[in-house]
Amino acid sequence: MTLATAVIIASLAVVAALLFLRHEVQRAREAAQRDLAETAQGIRGELGQAQRALAEVRALELGRVRQWEMAAESLRRLEAVIAGSASRGAAGENLLARSLCQLPPDLLETNLTVGNKVVEFALRLPGGRYLPIDSKWTGASALTDLAEASPAERRRLGEQITRELRARVREVGKYLDPERTIGLGLLAVPDALYGASPEAHGEGHREGVLVVPYSLTLPFVLAVYRLALRFGCAVDTDQLESRLRALDEGLERSAGEVESRLSRSLVLLENARDALRAELSGARRTVGRLLETADSVAPSATVASRD
């Protein structure tokens, strides 16, 4: 084999190898393209699902935002109806009346005149006295601003709410009549106001006024009535006067007995004591003389026996 033939054969082998390698590379590229196409198709599908899920989430979020906006608008309308400056007092009285309507009608008095004041509600207690109950809706604007205020602003708003509540406590304190009430009154306020001004509760207690939230007004009223029923009593002044007069007469008779019979008995006892003391003294003197006689007789008897 000549050199030229060997070169030709080697060249053909190289060409064949290159063609085979090209074919394999082409097959690998086609397989990679198919894999990439399938992967891209899967990714596009997953991206589509993610986009659909994101759209659903966005729709739900928009729905939730709309619901919050509707709820906020409803609360604003409720605030305008209940806590508005023109209808605040009436709304508070309506809430209180709804709570107290569960009491028996014979226990609840409305528009009770105490002195020159008229209290909206009063609990009729045993003995004919009353527990004044009033509703004061105050500090609504300050309570609204309190949630988002800074610490310094919260302190200022808290002091403002406390001042307003103290003023309402003093108003309810004017309903306390010692002849018609038990010296205690109830001031019903919104629950948020009750929790925002604890400092005013102690002052109300000193004034004879219990500050209670709307949600606990009925339990407080029932507790007071239970205590009045358990420990209170109706006082009949005529019967009390007759009993006191009978007691005075009994004490006077006892004093007479002490001055008459007991005094005489004491005098007799003193006389008997003096007599007994005199008899005992005489008996002791007699015993003493006998002892002296016995002592003098004993030596004489001894001498005689020796003789």
Whether pLDDT at 208 is above 80: yes
User: What pLDDT, on a 0 to 100 scale, did the predictor assign at position 304?
Assistant: 47
* CATH code of the region 87-234: 3.40.1350
Q: Which residues of 1-32 are buried (b: 16+ CB within 10 A; e: fewer)?
A: eeeeeeeeeeeeeeeeeeeeeeeeeeeeeeee
| CA 277 to chain centroid | 74
Other C-beta atoms within 10 Å of 213: how many? 15
Q: Which two tokens stand for residue 173?
A: 């304190």
Helices (H), the chain: 3-82, 88-100, 140-146, 151-173, 191-196, 199-206, 217-231, 237-257, 263-306
Average pLDDT estimate for 94-117: 81
Judged against a pLDDT cut of 70, whether residue 145 lies above it is answered with: no
Asked if pLDDT for residue 235 goes beyond 60, the answer is: no
Among 238, 185, 245, 192, residue whose Cα is nearest residue 209: 185
How many C-beta atoms surround the C-beta of residue 224 within 10 A? 19
The pLDDT of residue 290 is above 50: yes
Identify the residue whose tokens are 């300050």.
142
| Low-confidence winner among 126-140, 199-213, 227-241 (lowest mean pLDDT) | 227-241
Do the beta carbons of residue 93 and residue 135 sit within 8 Å? yes
Residue 262 structure tokens: 């007991």
Residue 163 has pLDDT above 80, yes or no: yes
According to the model, what pLDDT value does residue 84 have?
43
Q: Which residue has the higher pLDDT, 184 or 193?
A: 184
Alpha-carbon gap, residue 271 to 274, rounded angstroms: 5
pLDDT in tens, 45-96: 888 888 888 888 888 888 888 887 787 776 665 554 444 444 444 555 677 7
Distance from C-alpha of 57 to C-alpha of 53, rounded to nearest angstrom: 6
pTM to 2 decimal places: 0.47
Answer whether residue 141 shows pLDDT above 70.
Answer: no
Judged against a pLDDT cut of 70, whether residue 9 lies above it is answered with: yes
pLDDT in tens, 22-31: 777 888 888 8
Closest CA to 114 of 171, 175, 178, 179: 175
Domain ranges of the chain: 87-234, 236-286
